[in-house]
A and B are shown apart, each in its own frame.
Chain A
Amino acid sequence: GAGVSQSPSNKVTEKGKDVELRCDPISGHTALYWYRQSLGQGLEFLIYFQGNSAPDKSGLPSDRFSAERTGGSVSTLTIQRTQQEDSAVYLCASSLYRTANYGYTFGSGTRLTVV
């Protein structure tokens, strides 16, 4: 597609349930990033995939969070046993470059609300 596509755009879930958030990057982009923005906060790095290299998981806040990228394209971020503090906008971005210096293209995000 022309841009980074994320689904769903909104998700309301009950505390304790698992959720899956999907990201379709721009075709041909080898780098894929997940960030989240909590209310009143900046963009917090979660995880980074680059080609076939092992992902940089250094930003994942707990072992309830995991992500995978299948076939070097679509990525799924999974949050298990959701907590209220997981409520945030989850943003996916992709890039053609190995360096972040050229910036990324972001999707519109998934707004997750845990009730």
Chain B
Amino acid sequence: DQQVKQNSPSLSVQEGRISILNCDYTNSMFDYFLWYKKYPAEGPTFLISISSIKDKNEDGRFTVFLNKSAKHLSLHIVPSQPGDSAVYFCAASDAFQGAQKLVFGQGTRLTINP
């Protein structure tokens, strides 16, 4: 039972354009959402998060949007840079379970083309 789904395994975007990575979830008790970025042979690193009481959170070039009614969130990267090429994971924590662990999606491999 995949509670967090990233339906696009890969995405290719031209440098300077906007990258949009999508994530859907099924558990309505998820109340906090995070995005992680992973380079090859490294562990995932935290990128940005959003609480379920908000619908947008922005940090520099990165913005996360949350649509609770649709159980959907997205990560926007503007402008995209070659260093953004990585695998991006969406993750969620379950308040009902004490928010003690994260449930991750399958990841989306983003490639930024020069």
Contacts of B101 on A, CB cut-off 8 Å? 33, 45, 48, 56, 100
Please tell me the number of chain B residues within 8 Å of chain A, measured between CB atoms: 28
Q: Which residue of B lies closest to A48 (CB)?
A: B101
Chain A, 75-115, contact with B by CB distance < 8 Å: what is the 0/1 string? Answer: 00000000000000001010000111111111111000000
Contacts of A44 on B, CB cut-off 8 Å? 104
Query: Which of B34, B36, B99, B100 lies at the interface centre, i.e. has the most chain A CB atoms within 10 A of its CB?
Result: B100
Contacts of A12 on B, CB cut-off 8 Å? none
CB-CB under 8 A for A101 and B43, given A42-B89, A43-B104, A45-B103:
no
Q: Which residue of A lies closest to B46 (CB)?
A: A103
**Is B102's CB within 8 Å of the partner chain A?**
yes
- Is the CB–CB distance between B43 and A107 below 8 Å? yes
Q: Which of A42, A103, A104 contacts B107 (CB 8 A)?
A: A42
**Is A65's CB within 8 Å of the partner chain B?**
no
Taken together as a complex, chains A and B put the C-alpha atoms of A11 and B27 apart, in Å, by 36
Contacts of A33 on B, CB cut-off 8 Å? 101
**Is B41's CB within 8 Å of the partner chain A?**
yes
Q: Which of A42, A91, A100, A109 contacts B93 (CB 8 A)?
A: A100
A7 to chain B, nearest CB (A): 14
Contacts of A50 on B, CB cut-off 8 Å? 100
Taken together as a complex, chains A and B put the C-alpha atoms of A91 and B45 apart, in Å, by 12
Taken together as a complex, chains A and B put the C-alpha atoms of A30 and B41 apart, in Å, by 25
Contacts of A26 on B, CB cut-off 8 Å? none
Taken together as a complex, chains A and B put the C-alpha atoms of A7 and B44 apart, in Å, by 17
- Is the CB–CB distance between A56 and B41 below 8 Å? no
**Is B1's CB within 8 Å of the partner chain A?**
no
B91 to chain A, nearest CB (A): 8
- Is the CB–CB distance between A56 and B100 below 8 Å? yes
Residue numbers of A with Cβ under 8 A of B are 4, 31, 33, 35, 40-45, 48, 50, 56, 91, 93, 98-109
A42-B6, A43-B104, A101-B99 provided; 4 other pairs, C-beta below 8 A? Answer: A35-B104, A48-B100, A99-B99, A106-B45
Residue numbers of B with Cβ under 8 A of A are 2, 4, 6, 9, 32, 34, 36, 41-46, 49, 51, 89, 91, 93, 98-107
